[in-house]
Amino acid sequence: MNRKLIVAIATAVILVAGTYIAIQFAKGYRPDLRKREIRGTGLLVTNSVPIGAQVFLNGKLTTATNDTTNLPPGEYEVEIKKDGYISWKKTLKIEEELVTQAIARLFPSVTDLRPLTFTGAENLTPSPDGQKIAYVVTASSEDVKKGVWVLDMVTRPFSLSKDPIQIVRNTENLDFGNATLLWSPDSAQLLAHFPEGEKTVVSETNILLDAGGLNREEALRDATARLPVIFSQWEEQLAHKLNDQLLTLPSEMQNIATGSATNLYFSPDEEKLLLTATNEAEIPEKLIPPLPASSTQQEQRLLEPGNVYVYDLKEDRNFLIAQRQEPPAELGTLRQKILLVDRITQNLPFIEEASPSAYTKLQKETTQSTISEFAAQYAPISAGQLQWFPDSNHLIQTEEDKITILEYDGTNRAAVYAGSLLDRFAYSWPDGSKLLILTNLNPQSELPANLYAINLK
pLDDT digits (tens), the chain, 457 positions: 566 666 566 666 566 555 555 555 555 555 554 555 556 688 999 999 999 999 999 999 999 999 999 999 999 999 999 999 999 999 999 998 889 999 999 999 998 899 999 999 999 999 999 999 999 999 888 999 999 999 999 877 655 567 899 999 999 989 999 999 999 999 999 999 998 765 555 678 999 999 999 999 999 999 988 988 899 899 889 888 888 999 999 999 999 999 999 889 999 999 999 999 999 999 999 999 888 878 889 999 999 999 999 999 999 999 999 987 455 555 444 444 444 434 433 433 333 343 344 444 444 456 888 888 888 888 888 767 899 999 999 999 998 899 999 999 999 999 999 998 998 999 999 999 999 999 998 777 778 899 999 999 8
Domain count, the chain: 3
Same domain, 249 and 182: no
Same domain, 233 and 304: yes
Same domain, 191 and 305: no
pTM of the model: 0.84
Query: Could you say which of 88, 105, 122 is where a domain stops?
Result: 105
Rounded Cα distance between 233 and 341, Å, is 13
The helix (run of H) or strand (run of E) holding residue 28 is none
Exposed, middle or buried, 241 (CB in 10 Å: 0-12/13-18/19+)?
middle
Domain housing 421? 113-222+385-455
Same domain, 246 and 377: yes
* Residues forming beta bridges with residue 438, ordered by sequence position: 451
| 3 state SS of 333 | helix
The domain that holds 30 is classified in CATH as 2.60.40
Is the Cβ–Cβ distance between 127 and 134 less than 8 Å?
Answer: yes
Same domain, 140 and 248: no
Backbone angles phi, psi at 233, to 5 degrees: -65, -45
Same domain, 156 and 94: no
Same domain, 342 and 419: no
Same domain, 236 and 318: yes
**Number of separate helices (H) and strands (E) present in the chain:** 6, 30
Same domain, 211 and 254: no
Rounded Cα distance between 79 and 54, Å, is 8
Same domain, 232 and 190: no
Query: Could you say which of 345, 365, 382 is where a domain stops?
Result: 382
Is the Cβ–Cβ distance between 438 and 121 less than 8 Å?
Answer: yes
Buried b (16+ CB within 10 A) or exposed e, 343-379: beeeebeeeeeeeeebeeebeeeebeebbbbbbbbbb
List the strands of the sheet with 414-418, edge to edge: 386-388, 394-398, 402-407, 414-418
Is the Cβ–Cβ distance between 64 and 81 less than 8 Å?
Answer: no
Radius of gyration of the chain, Cα coordinates, nearest whole angstrom: 27
Backbone angles phi, psi at 242, to 5 degrees: -65, -45
Same domain, 169 and 204: yes
Query: Could you say which of 334, 355, 382 is where a domain stops?
Result: 382
Same domain, 91 and 11: yes
